[in-house]
Amino acid sequence: MSELHSDFDLQQSINKVVKDEITPILKELNHKNTWTRRRENITEILEYSYSQKEPKLVSGS
């Protein structure tokens, strides 16, 4: 019975570490990644829209 109890304690300790230490780091990383992706998407959209407006060179034969 004491082994089961210690397993439970271990699991609780792991849960606490994950909640207190790891989750905030993951949230911060996710936030940064989200903004990085948004910036990249906006850049791609702008580059695409400008490329559509630029005059195209037509090669004469």
Distance CA 26, CA 37 (A): 16
| Ramachandran angles phi, psi of 3, nearest 5° | -65, -45
Predicted confidence band of residue 56 (pLDDT cuts 50, 70, 90): low
How far is the C-alpha of 1 from the C-alpha of 8, rounded, in Å?
A: 11
pTM listed for this prediction:
0.47
Residue 8 tokens read as 């439970």
Q: How far apart are the C-alpha atoms of 6 and 25, rounded to whole Å?
A: 28
**More reliable by pLDDT, 21 or 2:** 21
Instruction: Tell me what the mean pLDDT of segment 22-40 comes to.
Output: 88
